[in-house]
Amino acid sequence: MIAAVVMDLDGTLIESTDLWRAARRDSAATGDEVAVHESATDYVLERADTLEPVPGAEALVHAVAAHVPVVVATTAPARYAAVLTDLMPGLFEPVSSIVVGDFAERHTPIDLHRTVLDSLGMASENVVALLNSTSGLLDACTLGMRARGIPHPSRPLPRELAGVGIPVSPTHHHAAVTLLRMFRTEGVIPPRWRLGKQLLAV
């Protein structure tokens, strides 16, 4: 039975991918990898008021969090996540926890997924990983999580993911509908629960 859902922050919930790309270009000559990462974070935070949720992200989070804990995961530092939670309370209010990375300790996305599982204290097969990167999805599968792709509208995921058993939701609305149907099938919500009513806001 699904007991929790973990979601990517950048690109899945927040329209931030282009800003991070610009930040890394701007910071490329600032020193070693850690210094570049810190400089890029400063660059993004100086422009954080330009960031917005991905269309449909807020409705997705609210729909899922009404039934199971939602964990947001990011390899960005805690100070970045803290600013976003202040700027977008409607998006983050239903979130149970945010797990952040520590670039200085070379934490990788798979390390982040392990931390999420440790923090939840749940078996990996009971956790859905809703992610927008191929590497992250494959890492989640490696750990036994139930991976589901949700690409950024301008950056589709490769079709080959289906060949390794990773389904892809083309939109946030599709992801919400699919997860709620899974909740009903697996007994998270009652079999007679009406899907349409729940999704009015999605």
pLDDT tens string 26-47: 877 666 777 888 888 999 999 9
CB of 74 within 8 A of CB of 101? yes
Q: Are residues 175 and 75 in the same domain?
A: yes
CB 150, CB 169: distance < 8 Å: yes
Task: Name the region of 11 (left: φ>0; alpha: ψ -120 to 50; beta: rest).
Answer: left
Based on the fold, state whether residues 118 and 163 are members of the same structural domain. Answer: yes
Q: Say how many domains are in the chain.
A: 2
Confirm if 8 and 70 have CB atoms less than 8 A apart: no
Q: Which residues make Cβ contacts (< 8 Å) with residue 120, sequence separation at least 6?
A: 3, 4, 69, 71, 127
3-state secondary structure of 200: helix
Lowest mean pLDDT among 64-78, 137-151, 183-197: 183-197
* Residue 28 belongs to domain spanning: 19-49
Residue 190 is predicted with a pLDDT of 76
Percent of the chain at pLDDT > 90 equals 56
Single pTM value for the model: 0.88
CATH number at residue 145: 3.40.50.1000
pLDDT at 130: 95
* Highest mean pLDDT pick, 38-42, 99-103, 121-125, 154-158: 121-125
Same domain for 84 and 148? yes
Q: Please check whether residues 121 and 57 belong to one and the same domain.
A: yes
My answer on whether 33 and 98 are in the same domain is: no
- Judgement on whether residues 30 and 117 belong to the same structural domain of the protein: no
Give the burial class of 143: count Cβ atoms within 10 A of its Cβ; 0-12 exposed, 13-18 middle, 19 or more buried: middle
Residues 88 and 151 in one domain: yes
Q: Give backbone dihedrals phi and psi of 99, rounded to 5 degrees, phi first.
A: -105, 125
Contact 27, 91 (CB under 8 A): no
Q: pLDDT grade, residue 10 (50/70/90)?
A: very high
Contact (CB, 8 A) for 113 and 140: yes
Higher pLDDT, 40 or 152: 40
SS3 182: helix
Q: Are residues 36 and 59 in the same domain?
A: no
Output 30 or 4, whichever has higher pLDDT: 4
Q: Collapse the DSSP code of 174 into the 3-class scheme (helix H, G, I; strand E, B; otherwise coil) and give the result.
A: helix
Q: What is the pLDDT of residue 106?
A: 53
pLDDT above 80 for 20: yes
Question: Can you tell me the distance from the alpha carbon of 172 to that of 85, in angstroms, rounded to the nearest whole number?
Answer: 20
Q: Which residues contact 156 (CB under 8 A, 6 or more apart)?
A: none
201 has a pLDDT exceeding 50: no
Q: What is the pLDDT of residue 202?
A: 39
Considering the domain architecture, whether residues 161 and 61 belong to the same structural domain is answered as yes
- Whether residues 150 and 196 share a domain: the answer is yes
**Residue partners of 82: CB distance under 8 A and separation at least 6:** none
Q: Residues 43, 141: one domain?
A: no
- Verify that 180 and 153 share a domain, yes or no: yes
